[in-house]
Amino acid sequence: MGGKAEESSPAEYGEPSKYDPSFNGPIHKRSCTDIICCILFMAAIAGYMVVGIMAWLYGDPRHVLYPRNSTGMFCGVGLNQGKPNVLYFDLLKCATTTNIMAAALNGLQCPTTQVCVAQCPSTFWILNPAAYLPQAKPAQYFQQQYCVPSFDLSTSSLSAQEIVNKQLCPAFYIPTASVLGRCLPSVGSLDAIPNNFTLPGMSSTNDTASALKNATGQGVLNKDVLSGFNAKQIGVKIFEDFASSWYWILM
């Protein structure tokens, strides 16, 4: 107690420098070299804040959370409450649309009618040929739940052919599963197509199965239709986001 503190050994802090009589200290003309970079960095941070505020004030997260039908209405909310899934009338048209620019010009939508439904179809169904007879009543053959909501089968005077041509009701559907709110086909289910399931313009059930499995429409079998569809849709979505926000990116 009261004694001098123990002196630190030179090895703890290294060897002391020797006195140099010619050393005049640090450089006299010193200046900050990163002012411009600091200003640019702060401007970028401010830009991110502005974009974030605008996204919060004017953005609509429903575009990411919910699918939309052909009229642009969201499925699962509003007038479509209880119908969280979107059904595509003709999935062949979705699979064969590989031109991203054509898709953009078409409103970034699969070029077939899309309706919101409560549940995706779980069975194979195709319009009975008897529905095309002159005396046939379409309400006895089509299913209202999969038709365009504004179209009422019970009061319509249209023939089955007119309904199909105007894409008011689907002419066929296949077993599908809900993937991110979209009724997309399961490739495994296409191996069990009924013998009487032949699409118009095709000669046999095998041709129908091949067409449904074909993602490009050129006779090349796609073993992962679901992944290809999602990849294309994601690519189109990226293109849409870039096209609408390129000027903010440049800033």
- Asked if residue 30 is part of any domain, the answer here is no
pLDDT classification of 213: cutoffs 50, 70, 90: low
- Asked if residue 45 is part of any domain, the answer here is no
Which stretches of the chain are DSSP H helices?
10-13, 35-58, 62-65, 91-95, 100-105, 160-165, 205-213, 225-250
- The tens digit of pLDDT for each residue in 161-208 reads 999 999 899 988 888 888 888 887 765 666 677 777 777 767 677 777
Spell out where 107-251 has E strands: 114-117, 125-126, 172-173, 176-179, 182-185
Judged against a pLDDT cut of 80, whether residue 135 lies above it is answered with yes
Q: Which two tokens stand for residue 196?
A: 């009487």
Q: Tokens 């195709």 correspond to what residue?
A: 126
- Across the chain, mean pLDDT equals 75
- Asked if residue 86 is part of any domain, the answer here is yes
Judged against a pLDDT cut of 80, whether residue 224 lies above it is answered with no
Identify any residues that bridge with 176 across adjacent strands, giving them in sequence order.
185
The structure's pTM equals: 0.59
Burial of 4 (0-12, 13-18, 19+ CB in 10 A): exposed
- Asked if residue 8 is part of any domain, the answer here is no
pLDDT classification of 54: cutoffs 50, 70, 90: confident
High-pLDDT (> 70) share of the chain, %: 66
Domain count, the chain: 1
Q: What pLDDT, on a 0 to 100 scale, did the predictor assign at position 238?
A: 62
Structural domain boundaries enclosing 217: 67-127+171-244
d(CA 73, CA 149) in angstroms, rounded, equals: 12
- Asked if residue 44 is part of any domain, the answer here is no
Judged against a pLDDT cut of 60, whether residue 233 lies above it is answered with no
